[in-house]
């Protein structure tokens, strides 16, 4: 006989099972066995396809760096896969075993979406959070019928403790979170992790219907709610009933499925909608800026009414004439205006229809709040100069109109309105008064803002047109700055090569002199003329060239020629060396632009010196001085000394004298800086400067910075730059797009229940 038809085996809804009973243990073990078997098979299938997916992407990669990310990811996944699978399956098994031990405090009520937990969006990595949220929302909606039945049956066998989508270990939410935690074993690039999430969605979450059906079948066979039925009311709640003892309300009989999100097509906006709704539902929560407290009746404003009211407010701004010169102090006033826009909007609708509505539809309120928080972020984003913050903040009304006209604005990175604001912010990030003396950039940004304020009604094409125009402006300026930047880098590279060659020449000469006391004239030749010859030879022919080796050989011979020659044998050796020394010296001196008469004068001094060495008579006019300063007069003034007598070249980098701990955050920041990164420098006695890291010297390791015109601003050693960061005199600006930064900050802010207002901070 079927156990479900046996009245003695049917679990009455009014009879809650004892969680400590052997019967409950058997049932939970059965559920756990089913889940473990299915999930082990599916997670294995998902990982079996990771290699193929990453290899395909590597073959299509746009550059070698991206290709290496995928290949590195393949190796990392192969290495860490067993630990990831073990941790994932272990977490689900453990949570299933803990179902009979409910928490002492009731769980936090889920958001109106029912599945999007705040922990999923609190992470700074918005892409990963959205990938998780997307998987959960899509699958919970699809699986609502079977999952609802699993929840009800688990609630009964767990002694009446309510099991819902957010607390069921085999629900998409918990499975996704457990998998996310397990993936912490991987140190792979986020692009690799997103591919793994897609495969998890495809091979695990998409198969959950089979798991739920098997669990329900097993529990029905065991007599748990065998006649449970439920229906889903779109936009409402799920209701359940059971025949027989239906008079008792089943535990957890309602499961919220979330409000209809209307035109909002994106997972991001779905997430934000849930967060806004949760915020409004919390005590004192307003969900956004400019909350409305009026108590008026009347129908909710339509989208057309909102657009009409916004157009009126926009025309009021446009009719005030050209934008005044932006001042940093304007930010505080604009911030108040941003927060008050919702109230102004409802007041304007009231003026148009004759009665002021108390609020707007949820989807419109979300849009208004989201745009408001975006522009509050702009006004507080330290990546933008204050003057540019003020100008861009005036675009709140045009962008609110655009967001109402096209709900995809916030969902798609390639939306023209989004790209335009990102492009404006990227240009603004590099602006400073010093680098924009002709005000070309300032006036261009101002022109785009004024065009939108004056000309944008409902033609979304204006964003594309302004974007194309701004990009053309950007391209022209980029070509100019790149030429200047290239010249600066080449000049700096040349100076560093010269300095390196001078140090090398000095070191070679000093190493060969050692502790010897050379005659002033010989030391002067080596320290000035010949050192310069070595430098030029290094720069032109290189250190491995025969010319450089020959020049060093001369130094050895020249030094040897100064040794005393007391006997005939040593004098004979000196006489044999002198022609080669003279020949090499003539060539070397000519190489460093000695004039012929200067060469002859110097050689005349040396001839007299060597006659003394050989014990030959020297004319009175050829007397050799022992004073080095007088001896150096034989060398033209145009030849600058590379080394001074008894002076050691300082090969110790300047930064070695600066104490910056290698494990300090600032030092780590400097080490990972890449060319193209913008920084803000603010020395006490100088105006603020924004500069881009243009080039890192492979020879000295110094960092070269240029302004937006490609002109040199400064160059620092890594240690010097770290000290500027520590002292607050330098600050690294964000490299990612304005919209991405803003949305990440907004999600983070809305995820903090303790915050009194979600739009009061952008850090």
CA distances from 343 to 275, 363, 403, 729 (A): 21, 17, 18, 41
In this prediction, residues 109-119 reach a mean pLDDT of 37
- Let me know how many helices (H) and strands (E) the chain has, helices first: 26, 8
Share of the chain above pLDDT 70, in %: 77
In this prediction, residues 640-663 reach a mean pLDDT of 56
Residue (of 364, 457, 456, 445) closest to 403 by Cα position: 364
pLDDT given at position 88: 95
Q: Which residues pair with 231 in a beta bridge?
A: 239
Per DSSP, the three-state class of 238 is: strand
Q: What is the dihedral of CA 589, 591, 595, 600, to 10 degrees?
A: 30
Query: From CA 154, how far away is CA 38, in angstroms rounded?
Result: 18
State the pLDDT confidence band at 14, using cuts at 50, 70 and 90.
very low
Find the helix packing angle between 440-455 and 386-393, rounded to 10°.
Answer: 20
Find the helix packing angle between 718-726 and 665-672, rounded to 10°.
Answer: 130
Residues contacting 592, CB < 8 A, separation 6+ = 529, 532, 533, 536, 639
Q: Percentage helix, strand, coil, to 5, in the chain?
A: 60, 5, 35
Of 41-45, 719-723, 758-762, where does mean pLDDT reach its minimum? Answer: 758-762
* 86 φ, ψ (degrees, to nearest 5): -65, -45
Between β-strands 678-681 and 689-696, what pairing exists: parallel, antiparallel or unpaired?
antiparallel
Find the helix packing angle between 208-221 and 22-48, rounded to 10°.
Answer: 160
pTM comes to 0.55
User: The tokens of 647 are what?
Assistant: 């002076």
Highest mean pLDDT among 120-124, 259-263, 276-280, 670-674: 670-674
Q: Could you tell me which residue, 748 or 282, shows the higher pLDDT?
A: 748
Going from the N-terminus, what domains does the chain have, and what CATH number goes with each? Answer: 18-102+110-226 (no CATH), 268-291+298-459 (no CATH), 492-634 (no CATH), 655-736 (2.30.30.140)
pLDDT given at position 296: 45
Per DSSP, the three-state class of 241 is: strand
Q: What is the dihedral of CA 603, 606, 607, 610, to 10 degrees?
A: -160
Taking 60 as the threshold, does the pLDDT of residue 250 lie above it?
Answer: no
234: exposed, middle or buried (C-beta count within 10 Å: 0-12, 13-18, 19+)? exposed
Is residue 671 within 8 Å of 718, Cβ to Cβ? yes
Is residue 46 within 8 Å of 202, Cβ to Cβ? yes
User: How do residues 495-542 score in pLDDT, each as one tens digit?
Assistant: 888 999 999 999 999 999 998 899 999 999 999 899 999 999 999 999
Taking 70 as the threshold, does the pLDDT of residue 246 lie above it?
Answer: no
User: How do residues 121-160 score in pLDDT, each as one tens digit?
Assistant: 333 366 677 778 778 877 887 888 889 899 988 988 887 7
Residues contacting 248, CB < 8 A, separation 6+ = 12, 13, 14
pLDDT given at position 644: 52
Residue (of 537, 539, 512) closest to 523 by Cα position: 512
Taking 70 as the threshold, does the pLDDT of residue 349 lie above it?
Answer: yes
Find the helix packing angle between 190-203 and 172-182, rounded to 10°.
Answer: 140
Q: Which residues pair with 681 in a beta bridge?
A: 689, 730
In this prediction, residues 705-729 reach a mean pLDDT of 92
Find the helix packing angle between 126-142 and 144-157, rounded to 10°.
Answer: 90
User: The tokens of 654 are what?
Assistant: 């300047």
User: How do residues 268-321 score in pLDDT, each as one tens digit?
Assistant: 666 677 777 777 664 444 444 444 444 445 678 888 888 888 988 888 887 766
pLDDT given at position 113: 38
Taking 80 as the threshold, does the pLDDT of residue 358 lie above it?
Answer: no
User: How do residues 423-452 score in pLDDT, each as one tens digit?
Assistant: 999 999 999 888 888 899 999 999 999 999
Residue (of 317, 506, 474) closest to 395 by Cα position: 317
Q: What is the DSSP string of 578-631?
A: HHHHHHHHHHHHHHTT--HHHHHHHHHHHHHHHHHHTT----GGGPPPS-HHHH
Query: From CA 619, how far away is CA 717, in angstroms rounded?
Result: 56
Distance of CA 248 to the CA centre of its chain: 55
User: The tokens of 526 are what?
Assistant: 């080596």
Q: Which residues of 464-494 are buried (b: 16+ CB within 10 A; e: fewer)?
A: eebbeebeebeeebeeebeebbeebbeebee
User: How do residues 610-626 score in pLDDT, each as one tens digit?
Assistant: 999 888 877 655 555 54
Is residue 91 within 8 Å of 35, Cβ to Cβ? no
CA distances from 391 to 327, 445, 450 (A): 9, 8, 9
Q: What is the dihedral of CA 538, 543, 549, 550, to 10 degrees?
A: -20
Q: Could you tell me which residue, 1 or 501, shows the higher pLDDT?
A: 501
State the pLDDT confidence band at 329, using cuts at 50, 70 and 90.
low
Is residue 384 within 8 Å of 701, Cβ to Cβ? no
588: exposed, middle or buried (C-beta count within 10 Å: 0-12, 13-18, 19+)? buried
Look over the chain and give the mean of its residue pLDDT values, rounded to a whole number: 79
Highest mean pLDDT among 90-104, 218-232, 308-322, 458-472: 458-472
State the pLDDT confidence band at 740, using cuts at 50, 70 and 90.
confident
pLDDT given at position 266: 45
Taking 90 as the threshold, does the pLDDT of residue 200 lie above it?
Answer: yes
Query: From CA 750, how far away is CA 760, in angstroms rounded?
Result: 11
Is residue 466 within 8 Å of 420, Cβ to Cβ? yes
Residue (of 50, 40, 38) closest to 194 by Cα position: 50
Is residue 676 within 8 Å of 739, Cβ to Cβ? no
User: How do residues 539-589 score in pLDDT, each as one tens digit?
Assistant: 999 999 999 999 999 999 999 999 988 899 999 999 999 999 999 999 999
Angle at 127 between CA 121 and CA 130, to 5 degrees: 50
In this prediction, residues 42-60 reach a mean pLDDT of 89
Residues contacting 437, CB < 8 A, separation 6+ = none
Taking 60 as the threshold, does the pLDDT of residue 94 lie above it?
Answer: yes
């Amino acid at each position: 006989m079927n156990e479900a038809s046996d009245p003695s085996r049917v679990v009455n809804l009014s009879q809650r099972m004892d969680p400590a009973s052997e019967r409950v243990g058997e049932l939970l073990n059965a559920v756990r066995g089913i889940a473990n078997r299915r999930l082990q098979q599916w997670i294995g299938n998902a990982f079996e396809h990771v290699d193929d997916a990453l290899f395909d992407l590597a073959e299509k990669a746009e550059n070698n760096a991206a290709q290496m990310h995928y290949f590195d990811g393949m190796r990392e996944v192969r290495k860490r896969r067993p630990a990831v699978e073990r941790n994932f399956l272990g977490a689900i098994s453990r949570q299933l075993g803990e179902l009979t031990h409910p928490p002492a405090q009731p769980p936090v009520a889920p958001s109106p979406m029912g599945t999007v937990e705040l922990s999923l969006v609190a992470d700074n990595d918005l892409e990963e959070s959205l990938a998780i949220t997307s998987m959960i929302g899509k699958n919970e909606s699809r699986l609502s019928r079977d999952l609802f039945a699993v929840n009800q049956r688990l609630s009964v066998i767990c002694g009446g403790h309510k099991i819902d989508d957010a607390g069921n270990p085999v629900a998409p939410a918990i499975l996704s979170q457990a998998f996310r935690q397990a993936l912490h074993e991987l140190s792979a690039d986020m692009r690799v992790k997103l591919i793994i999430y897609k495969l998890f969605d495809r091979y695990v979450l998409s198969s959950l219907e089979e798991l739920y059906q098997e669990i329900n079948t097993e529990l029905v066979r065991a007599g748990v709610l065998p006649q449970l039925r439920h229906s889903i009311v779109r936009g409402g709640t799920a209701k359940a009933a059971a025949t027989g003892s239906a008079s008792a309300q089943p535990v957890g009989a309602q499961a919220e499925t979330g409000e209809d999100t209307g035109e909002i097509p994106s997972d991001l906006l779905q997430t934000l909608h849930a967060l806004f709704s949760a915020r409004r539902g919390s005590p004192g929560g307003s969900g956004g800026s400019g909350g409305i407290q009026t108590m008026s009746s009347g129908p909710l404003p339509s989208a057309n009414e909102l657009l009409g009211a916004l157009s009126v407010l926009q025309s009021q701004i446009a009719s005030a004439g050209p934008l005044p010169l932006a001042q940093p102090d304007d930010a505080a006033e604009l911030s108040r205006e941003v927060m008050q826009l919702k109230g102004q909007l409802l007041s304007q609708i009231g003026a148009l229809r004759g009665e002021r509505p108390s609020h707007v539809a949820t989807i419109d309120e979300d849009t208004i709040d989201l745009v408001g928080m975006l522009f509050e972020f702009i006004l507080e984003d330290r990546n933008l100069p204050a003057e540019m913050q003020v100008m861009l903040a005036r675009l709140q009304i045009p962008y609110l109109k655009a967001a109402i006209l096209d709900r995809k604005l916030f969902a798609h990175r390639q939306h023209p309105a989004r790209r335009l604001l990102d492009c404006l912010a990227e240009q603004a990030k590099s602006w400073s008064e010093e680098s924009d003396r002709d005000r070309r950039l300032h006036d261009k940004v101002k022109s785009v803002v004024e065009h939108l304020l004056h000309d944008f009604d409902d033609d979304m094409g204006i964003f594309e047109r302004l974007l194309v125009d701004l990009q053309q402006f950007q391209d022209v300026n980029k070509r100019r700055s790149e030429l200047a930047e290239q010249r600066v880098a080449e000049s700096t590279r040349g100076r560093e090569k010269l300095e390196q060659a001078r140090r090398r020449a000095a070191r070679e000469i000093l190493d060969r002199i050692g502790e010897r006391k050379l005659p002033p004239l010989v030391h002067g030749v080596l320290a000035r003329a010949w050192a310069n010859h070595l430098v030029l030879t290094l720069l032109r022919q290189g250190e491995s060239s025969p010319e450089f080796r020959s020049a060093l050989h001369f130094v050895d011979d020249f030094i040897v020629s100064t040794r005393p020659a007391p006997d005939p044998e040593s004098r004979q050796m000196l006489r044999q060396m002198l022609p080669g020394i003279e020949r090499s010296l003539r060539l070397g001196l000519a190489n460093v632009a000695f004039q012929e008469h200067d060469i002859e004068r110097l050689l005349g001094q040396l001839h007299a010196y060597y006659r003394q060495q050989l014990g030959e008579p020297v004319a009175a006019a050829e007397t050799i001085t022992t004073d080095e300063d007088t001896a150096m007069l034989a060398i033209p003034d145009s030849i600058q000394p590379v080394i001074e007598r008894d002076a050691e070249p300082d090969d110790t980098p300047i930064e070695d004298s600066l104490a910056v701990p290698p494990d300090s955050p600032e030092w780590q920041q400097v080490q990972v800086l890449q060319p193209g990164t913008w920084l803000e420098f603010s020395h006490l006695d100088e105006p603020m400067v924004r500069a881009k890291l243009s080039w890192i010297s492979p020879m000295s390791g110094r960092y070269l910075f240029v302004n937006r015109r490609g002109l040199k601003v400064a160059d620092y050693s890594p240690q010097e730059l770290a000290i500027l960061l520590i002292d607050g005199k330098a600050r690294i600006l964000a490299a990612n797009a304005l919209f991405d930064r803003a949305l990440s900050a907004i999600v983070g802010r809305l995820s903090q229940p303790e915050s009194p207002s979600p739009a009061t901070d952008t850090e």
